[in-house]
Amino acid sequence: MKTGILFIHGFTGNTVEVQPLADFIAERNEKIICSIPTLSGHGVELKLHGVRATHWFRDVENAYRTLASKVDQVVVVGFSMGGVLALYLALRYPVKRLVLLSAAVKYIDPKQLYLVAKELLMNRKNLTDEQNRWLQHCFYQAKNMNPMAIKSFTEVVHQVTPYLSEISQPVMIVQGEQDGLVPKETADYLFDHLGSTEKIKYFSKNGHHHICFSDDRTKWFEQVYDFIFKENKNQNIMPDCN
């Protein structure tokens, strides 16, 4: 059975936020098809003027449909606002499994976003030069946040969270206990309100908001991999992408 994994980055971020996990999975199984789209207004340079929640909903729906046309089942991994967009897809499409990383189902204070970016810049030992340049970029963008873009983010949250109980797909929630942007209690809120019967929580003791760069990432990367391919392991077969 062919498996595809759709990775969705966060608000004002880009694909770097989820790339470490995508690379880990790709190295473990080269046959897996991974898709990491860039949301409207995001990328190397933020261009959020005129971008609304509807654009991001459209982006992830298009990415899902494209990936679904190539595989038999789609797993969705979402970081921060991308986690909320992953939940949106689960409400509308037959998503096989969900992985929510620092899922921002609570309102993000733009001032806090600035402080988180600043904090990361001061603790960069685990980052590559490319990732450092990206964080420097995020620091200045967060400092000059577009108010309308923030409103669009809140619209994403408001359109999804009332329907959490209707989501039934198996879900794994990963949350950093040191997250200065999304409180760790958010993971408990999701766990309690999602309608899924198969739910897993993982708390990274030293993890901050950008959880894919936590010092224990290899440990929970392994757990995410096992969660995604749980059924295949039970059947003693690896995903077949031929």
**Which residues participate in the annotated binding site?**
11, 81
Counting other chains too, the contacts that 130-139 makes at CB distance below 8 Å and 24 or more residues apart are: 130/16, 131/16, 131/213, 134/14, 134/16, 137/44, 137/45, 138/12, 138/13, 139/114
Name the catalytic one among 9, 42, 208, 209: 209
Active site residue 49: no
Name the catalytic one among 35, 102, 152, 179: 179
Active site residue 209: yes
Name the catalytic one among 9, 42, 80, 196: 80
Cα 191 to chain centroid distance, Å, stands at 16
Residues making up the annotated binding site for substrate are 11, 81
Active site residue 80: yes
Half-sphere exposure of 39 (CA within 13 A, CB side): 32
Active site residues: 80, 179, 209
